[in-house]
Amino acid sequence: ETLSNSFSSALKKIRFKDDEKALKKALAELKKSLLKADVHHKVVKELLQRVELDTKAAGIGRDSFLKALQKNLTQILTAPGKQGFVYASKPPTVVLMTGLQGSGKTTTTGKLANYLKLRGKKVLVVAADLQRLAAVEQLRQIAQQIDVDFFGEEDEKDPVKVVNDALKLAREKLYDVVLIDTAGRLAIDEALMEELKRVKEAANPDEVFYVADSLTGQDAVRSAAKFNEDIGITGVILTKYDGDSKGGVAISLAHQIGVPLRFIGTGEKMPDLEVFIPERITNRLMGAGDIESLAEKTAAVIDEKQAKKISKKIAKGKFNFEDFLEQLESMKKMGSLKNLISMIPGMGNMAKAIKDLDLENSKEIKKIKAMINSMTPKERKDPDLILKNNSRKRRIAQGAGLSQQEVNKILKQFNNAAKFAKKFAGKKGMQDMQNLMK
């Protein structure tokens, strides 16, 4: 069970009658779900104390409790430092990707390269993991898949040589960013740390990212601390924060390492990478979903200008069928729909039910597309024209080969979705969350 799930059910159980006994019960529920989600007991203790204090200070009640929880969770998730990807003042920005074997270094190197490429950067990925069999080939294939330049040296044994050669090339060819994939081990050992120290010295990186597997729970926290001690890290990327991840490890990591979480990996595909933003994670953990991440993910695929235009439209309640078609097309380019859906407020459970919805072949989507194709350009831009006009509905139904009932149903769904989206785009955060849980 994920933290978000156990949180939602725990929070639903909380009924306040403005007294201390109710607060104690609420705190007990919270404690249970945090511990179940693998949050370190010290962090749980601290968080509960802060929530109790803040709730009492504001006057015991459901609202003050939720507000205190949101505030303190966010605070714990916020380690001082940078957010997302930060470019060096003088290119190329050099990034060392470190971590244990299987944590997701190579995949995440590809994801980051993809993320930067979509933002117009010239990126070079460098295969400096010469330990793991076929690691060089794995990165080469990923680079090819996302159409990013790759640097590797067949039969070379010394990663320092690879790094030196790669950086020379990167300076000559004016790359914006160089991402260096390094070797891991199954467990931390001297040889690994020695190699990494040498590689770091050669690379003189702007960032050292520690890639941590969220499924390894407290082990991830311990090894991140050790890497920070020995090598010095500037950020953590938490992978496999999808599926079976309990989610609590983010809280422990942020609390105990003192280095900011920068990105999270939410799936195996290249687009499954998100900037780590504490407020968003808090809202998602508390079951409130996350419209902003959704918008950002969309922005990586369509261009940012268009994404801004669309979120503005949503906020004004002016999202129309044309936008919908565009969204559908760009969603096809994104990673699994399941992740996207889980970001929509209140849809966490639905996401669980959906495996990977096939956008291309879904019957519903085909119907909607047929319907939109039968509309005039004016109708596509203004759904209201159809809503109030039976002869238009009849014409569209005929053109699309649908019954009028089906057309009505789709229109209603569309209208509800637009209203829903407007509500969440308009006023954010706490209030939405509380409304949802009422």
Could you tell me how many residues of this chain bind Mg ion (CB under 5 A)?
Answer: 3
Closest distance of CB 249 from ligand GDP, Å: 13
Q: Which of 91, 102, 346, 399 binds ligand GDP (CB under 6 A)?
A: 102
User: Token digits for 319?
Assistant: 């999202």
Helix (H, G, I), strand (E, B) or coil at 326: helix
Contact 342, 245 (CB under 8 A): no
- The C-alpha angle 255, 258, 262, rounded to 5 degrees, equals 90
Question: Which lies closer to Mg ion via its Cβ, residue 153 or residue 304?
Answer: 153
Report residue 54 CA to chain centroid gap.
Answer: 29
Q: Which residues contact 316 (CB under 8 A, 6 or more apart)?
A: 422
- The C-alpha angle 69, 73, 78, rounded to 5 degrees, equals 150
Sole window of 51-59, 67-75, 94-102, 332-340 interacting with ligand GDP (rule: CB under 6 A)? 94-102
Residue 267 near ligand GDP by CB under 6 A: yes
Residue 103 near ligand GDP by CB under 6 A: yes
Q: Rounded to the nearest 10 degrees, how much is the dihedral formed by the CA atoms of 275, 280, 285, 288? A: -140
Question: Which lies closer to Mg ion via its Cβ, residue 105 or residue 246?
Answer: 105
Nearest-angstrom CA–CA distance, 384 and 320 = 9
DSSP string, 258-316: -S-EEEEE-SSSTT-EEE--HHHHHHHHTT---HHHHHHHHHHHS-HHHHHHHHHHHHT
Question: From ligand GDP, Mg ion, none, which one binds at residue 379 (CB under 5 to 8 Å depending on kind)?
Answer: none
Question: Which lies closer to ligand GDP via its Cβ, residue 66 or residue 251?
Answer: 251
Question: From Mg ion, ligand GDP, none, which one binds at residue 327 (CB under 5 to 8 Å depending on kind)?
Answer: none
Question: From ligand GDP, Mg ion, none, which one binds at residue 243 (CB under 5 to 8 Å depending on kind)?
Answer: ligand GDP
Q: Which residues contact 229 (CB under 8 A, 6 or more apart)?
A: none
Question: From Mg ion, ligand GDP, none, which one binds at residue 217 (CB under 5 to 8 Å depending on kind)?
Answer: none
Q: Is the peptide bond before 92 cis (omega within 30 degrees of 0)?
A: yes
Question: From Mg ion, ligand GDP, none, which one binds at residue 262 (CB under 5 to 8 Å depending on kind)?
Answer: none
CA-to-CA separations, 285 to 61, 176, 420, in angstroms, rounded: 20, 35, 20
Sole window of 33-41, 96-104, 156-164, 347-355 interacting with ligand GDP (rule: CB under 6 A)? 96-104
Residue 83 near ligand GDP by CB under 6 A: no
Q: Which of 106, 214, 223, 336 binds Mg ion (CB under 5 A)?
A: 106
Closest distance of CB 134 from Mg ion, Å: 9
Closest distance of CB 104 from ligand GDP, Å: 3
Contact code string over 155-184 relative to ligand GDP, x by CB under 6 A = -----------------------------x
Question: Which lies closer to Mg ion via its Cβ, residue 220 or residue 294?
Answer: 220
Residue 240 near ligand GDP by CB under 6 A: yes
Residue 317 near ligand GDP by CB under 6 A: no
Contact 415, 383 (CB under 8 A): yes
Phi and psi for 195 in degrees, rounded to 5? -60, -45
Sole window of 89-97, 134-142, 339-347, 412-420 interacting with Mg ion (rule: CB under 5 A)? 134-142
Say which amino acid occupies 56: K
Residue 107 near ligand GDP by CB under 6 A: yes
Residues found near ligand GDP in the complex (CB under 6 A): 99, 101-107, 184, 239-240, 242-243, 265-268, 272
Residues found near Mg ion in the complex (CB under 5 A): 105-106, 135
